[in-house]
Amino acid sequence: MEYRKLLAACFVSVIATGCDSGAVTTESTFATDSAAQAAAAGISHGEYVARLGNCVACHSIPEGEPFAGGLKMAVPMLGNLYTTNITPDPATGIGNYSFDEFDSAMRFGVTKDGHRMYPAMPYPSYAKMSEQDMHALYDFFMNEVEPVNLANQASDIPGWKDNARLVMGIWNFLNMDSDPFEADPNQNDDWNRGAYLTQGPGHCGACHTPRGLMMQEKGLDESDSSFLSGAPLDHWNASSLNGDINSGLGRWSEDDLAEFLGTGHNRFGTAFGTMVEVVNNSTQYMSETDLNAMAVYLKSLPPVAEVNASVWGYDNTETEALLGLNFSEAGSQDYYEYCSNCHGTDGMGYYPYQPPLAGNPVIMDADPSSLINLTLNGSLRVISAQGPDVNDMPYFRQLLSDEEIADVITYIRSSWGHDASAVSTAQVSEIREATDPTRNDDIYVLRMK
């Protein structure tokens, strides 16, 4: 009976406040304080944390001012909302937020006026951030970001559906861990720092972890095998970041991972889709220590879907056929005419300029959505301090039919030792109809301030 009373009292508390407790004091440790890494990167502590969280990518649009909001985001089953102005403008931004109010919004998704956010804002991840990093981020927004007077755009969610906000406190109680990150004493400093970055400010799980029936991330850390196991995302597939030997990171070394995060390239592939924005606006600004720490943590994750799988091995059968101008296999001639100049008749690409297809984890992913989207719509370029990539993936939606695209992707997924499933014309048609072919290659990196 006492248990039932306690449970009922807790749910009353959840409905009222979501069990939000305000700012949480945490002890600064190597794992959770980014000040030294910010100094190594040559930027302020606050800007560094903002880079780790990639705040600018969601709270800006290419033709707008940094952090002034306006990016359209889909909320499953509800509709569309638009990201908010988080500049220090007192009228339309967050200029009147106290630190505690800012902290509550970041950790628990509760705004100054008391309304609840949907977890399109990755507050379940930001809840793990340390107080030191949160204070630095608050100081950055209040003192280093230019205020922009721009009213927030109303959502496209009907009022009766938007009432879902009223139960988000219960959602929080059921689906998130609101405690800040705590270092695991059984792991070394690099592992703990990488875990903090991945689970907390980097919010990698928001894209790479599958969602449950309540649209919650199925796992929030390495204790759950669903964590970072890959997930569909706006007609892409965010790849598995666990140790799956072929479609995950099982064949990557720590150096391969650090190189990919820092440059958007490595010997296995090139960033595409929204990962280009992550590299352009976030990970390339990280210190070498932090890049290595994330690599150490990610490489510690075991395989999930390919526990007993055989390691991919190269087969040159298709290469010899292409060199002999033997186009008897469906999709081979289109590959030769449109793809081989960049990716090679051997599928090995030209590292670091054009990625390989042979052995690329994305090619062997069970979900071909990313390959279809890339072929239809291309991808933006990775940008570094030296400038934009010379080459990018072009789009073929006007040049090739759905059947031709299905055939060429199927050809790639079954060549050079691959054994991935075929792609149907219907799968291509679905993504063609659902995606916007508009591209803007003139905007590569969003300004922070």
Quick one: pLDDT at residue 168?
A: 83
Tokens 């609840």 appear where? 116
Query: Per the omega criterion (within 30 degrees of 0), is the bond before 124 cis?
Result: no
Are 46 and 140 in contact by the 8 Å Cβ rule? The answer is: yes
SS3 for 257? helix
Give residue 161's pLDDT.
Answer: 72
Contacts of 78 (CB under 8 A, 6+ apart): 118, 157, 161, 162, 164
What is the mean predicted confidence (pLDDT) over 79-93? Answer: 94
What is d(CA 239, CA 212) in angstroms, rounded to the nearest whole number? 17
pLDDT tens string 353-407: 899 999 999 999 999 999 999 999 999 889 888 888 888 899 999 999 999 999 9
Mean pLDDT lowest for which of 17-26, 309-318, 331-340, 391-400?
Answer: 17-26
% pLDDT > 70, the chain: 91
The span from the CA of 148 to the CA of 439, in Å, is: 26
Domain coordinates in residue numbering, the chain? 1-182, 317-434
- Return the pLDDT at 143: 97
pLDDT band at 4 (very low <50, low <70, confident <90, very high): very low
Tell me what pLDDT residue 27 has.
58
Plot region of 83 (φ>0 → left; ψ -120 to 50 → alpha; else → beta): beta
Q: Which CATH superfamily is domain 317-434 in?
A: Cytochrome c-like domain (1.10.760.10)
pLDDT exceeds cutoff 70 at 445: no
**Among 284-288, 326-330, 387-391, which stretch is predicted with the lowest mean pLDDT?**
387-391
pLDDT band at 449 (very low <50, low <70, confident <90, very high): low
Rounded average pLDDT over 163-168: 79
List pLDDT tens digits, range 254-271. Answer: 999 999 999 999 999 999
Within 264-419, residue ranges assigned H as helices are: 274-281, 288-299, 317-323, 332-338, 340-343, 369-377, 402-413
pLDDT at res. 1:
35
Q: Does residue 102 have a pLDDT over 80? A: yes
pLDDT tens digits, 196-254: 999 999 999 999 999 988 888 999 999 999 999 999 988 999 999 999 999 999 999 99
pLDDT, one tens digit per residue, over 37-57 is 999 999 999 999 999 999 999
Strand, coil or helix: what is 160?
Answer: helix
Res 389: pLDDT: 85
Mean pLDDT score, 326-342:
97
More confident residue, 115 or 151: 151
Q: Which of 4-13, 64-73, 134-143, 438-447 has the highest mean pLDDT?
A: 134-143
Q: Which long-range contacts (CB under 8 A, 24 or more apart) does 34-42 make?
A: 34/132, 34/133, 34/136, 34/201, 34/290, 35/132, 35/136, 37/286, 37/287, 37/289, 37/290, 38/136, 38/287, 40/287, 40/288, 40/289, 41/285, 41/286, 41/287
> Residue 11: is its pLDDT beyond 60?
no
Mean pLDDT confidence for 183-189: 96
pLDDT of 42: 96
Q: Which two tokens stand for residue 307?
A: 């526990």
Confidence band of 177 (pLDDT split at 50, 70, 90): confident
Its pTM stands at 0.90
Q: Report pLDDT for 197.
A: 98
- Whose tokens are 């292409």? That residue is 322
Q: What is the pLDDT of residue 207?
A: 94
Question: Given a cut of 70, is residue 72 above it in pLDDT?
Answer: yes
When pLDDT is averaged across residues 46-75 and rounded to a whole number, the result is 93
CA atoms within 13 Å, Cβ hemisphere of 260: 20
Which residue is listed with tokens 């140790």? 243
Is the predicted pLDDT of residue 412 greater than 50, yes or no? yes
pLDDT band at 443 (very low <50, low <70, confident <90, very high): very low
Q: Which amino acid is at 293?
A: A
φ, ψ (nearest 5 deg) of residue 87: -80, 165
Query: What's the burial of 325, exposed, middle or buried (CB within 10 Å: 0-12/13-18/19+)?
Result: exposed
**332, pLDDT greater than 70:** yes
Q: Which two tokens stand for residue 413?
A: 């997924």
Element holding 383 (H helix, E strand): strand 383-384
Q: What is the mean pLDDT of the chain?
A: 89
**Helix residue ranges, H only, 209-316:** 254-263, 274-281, 288-299
Query: What are the two backbone dihedrals, phi and then psi, of residue 277, each rounded to the nearest 5 degrees?
Result: -65, -35
